[in-house]
Amino acid sequence: MNTATSTAEQDRELTACPECDLLQFEHPVPPGGALRCCRCRAVLYRRRQRGFDRALACAIAACVLWLISNAFPIVGLSVNGDLVETTLFGAVRVLYRDGMWPLAGLIFVTTILMPAAHALGMVWLLLPLHVHRRPYRADAAFRLLRIAREWGMTEVLMLGLLVAVVKLAHIASVVTGPALWSLAALMLLLVAAASAFDERAMWRGVDSASLATPESPTLKGRTASSSGICVCHDCGLATRGVLRHEHTCCPRCGARLHLRKPASLSRTWAYLIAAAVLYIPANLLPVMNTSSLFGAQKDTIMSGVAYLWTSGSWPLAIIVFIASIAVPMLKILAIGYLAASVNLRMTQYTAQRARIYRIVEMVGRWSMLDIYVIAVLVALVQFSAMATIEAGPAAIAFGAVVVLTMLAAMSFDPRLIWDTSDAKETPR
């Protein structure tokens, strides 16, 4: 009976959970199903239904819509017969002209560059596989695609545009441009392409013969690190005996290999402390400066929430408050709690802390909402004789808070949560 079990296990691929490092054998997954870690319940693998064809079709359509979204106006503002329209590039240009180049760069990367890299990266990988050819430099394209998915924020931009339109409707007549609708379609297509993209099937199609696997399915320890197995953070490939020095790269995707993220806690604390310091001026200093015939006005993030509430748009006021005020503060507290629990070698509530980490990673990008609202308002309200809006110093501070909290979450290694528990359970 034991021999039969061992033979069956040899036919299955060995994998390690990316969040708790537990070694386990994979099980067959039905189409549309998911394989979860038996310890922390993290998703190890999702099997897509006709993933390649669907993802490729969505990616090609997203490339076309990206061109339309950046070539035509998103929204316009009409005052006394004067029409001011803006594109995404136009909003970036106005911010750069006003000296807000850090904000302009952040918006350019997250709303223009990364969505394009996301769509083109999928086409680059899937189109050759569709015609049974190997993609050129699939390793570099795959790593770029992962970065683009983390930093592309089209869905947050759409919500920001909705909030901006509501605010502008109280100033003048709002004219929606064709890019607004193409951006909405682009958002849906990028989500559909990402949900249909099967990374493991893609790598099997690239070159299954070149995939390195552990030499033996026999588990010497409970976790990958204790068994001498290193798991790639990008493609998930488990390899044994290849981590000879700190510059060793994954044999499949070329990413740098390490048993744990280098200097994870120190980098997490550095990003977190910087974000906590900048959170104060981000909420106290003016985020927008408005000049009109009736004088000048400086608005903070909280005053913007109050304006939406008093104007009757209380659902949007709640969304902006949660995304721009509550989420950054809660992210700082949550990541600080996770890092402190590892520093203190806390062994309780490991599963709960793992869930907190997943939530933090999921909601972090939505804090960019207020940055996109500011960009649209600054680009459109440029009636020099009547009213102009400029971004205030708090906009740069708030953008830095969002980026720093995202970097803190990316730097934190969730497997450290479980290492203390594993060390306590290991007999001496």
Confidence tier at 404 by pLDDT (50, 70, 90) = very high
| CB within 8 Å of 154: residues ≥ 6 apart | 111, 115, 183, 186, 187, 190
Mapped to the 3 state alphabet, what secondary structure does 209-226 carry? HHCCCCCCCCCCCCECHH
Could you please report the per-residue DSSP string of 133-187?
Answer: -PPTTHHHHHHHHHHHHHH--HHHHHHHHHHHHHHHHTTSEEEE-HHHHHHHHHH
Q: How far, rounded to the nearest angstrom, does the alpha carbon of residue 344 sit from its chain's CA centroid?
A: 29
Compute the average pLDDT of residues 325-340.
Answer: 92
pTM: 0.85
| C-alpha to C-alpha distances, 373 to 189, 370, 415, nearest whole angstrom | 23, 5, 37
Domain total of the chain: 2
Single-letter residue type at 240: R
The per-residue pLDDT for range 69-106, each reduced to its tens digit, is 999 999 888 777 677 788 899 889 988 988 889 999 99
Measured from the Cβ of residue 275, the count of other Cβ atoms closer than 10 Å reads 25
Q: Which domain holds residue 412?
A: 259-423
Q: Are residues 303 and 201 in the same domain?
A: no
The per-residue pLDDT for range 239-268, each reduced to its tens digit, is 775 555 566 788 888 888 878 888 899 999
- For 330, counting Cβ atoms within 10 Å of its Cβ (0-12 exposed, 13-18 middle, 19+ buried), the class is middle
The per-residue pLDDT for range 140-149, each reduced to its tens digit, is 899 899 999 9
Between CA 336 and CA 313 the distance in angstroms is: 34
Residue 304 confidence (pLDDT) above 50: yes
Residue 116 confidence (pLDDT) above 60: yes
Q: Which of helix, strand or coil describes residue 33? A: coil
Q: Are residues 177 and 61 in the same domain?
A: yes
Ranges 82-96, 119-133, 169-183, 286-300: which has the least confidence? 286-300
Q: Are residues 200 and 276 in the same domain?
A: no
Q: Which of helix, strand or coil describes residue 363? A: helix
User: Does residue 343 fall inside a structural domain?
Assistant: yes
Write out the two tokens for 44.
Answer: 């190890």
Confidence tier at 297 by pLDDT (50, 70, 90) = confident
CA dihedral of 366, 369, 371, 374, whole degrees rounded to 10: 180
Q: Are residues 55 and 200 in the same domain?
A: yes
Q: Identify the CA nearest to 223 among candidates 360, 362, 414.
A: 414
Confidence tier at 269 by pLDDT (50, 70, 90) = very high
Read off φ and ψ for residue 20, nearest 5 degrees: -125, -5
CATH number at residue 348: 1.20.140
**Mean of the per-residue pLDDT values of the chain:** 82
Q: Please, how many CA atoms are within 13 Å of residue 351, restricted to the half-sphere of its CB?
A: 5
Q: Are residues 264 and 197 in the same domain?
A: no
Q: So what's the pLDDT on residue 386?
A: 60
Q: Are residues 322 and 174 in the same domain?
A: no
Final residue before a domain boundary, out of 257, 287, 313: 257
Q: Are residues 73 and 184 in the same domain?
A: yes
Final residue before a domain boundary, out of 222, 242, 257: 257
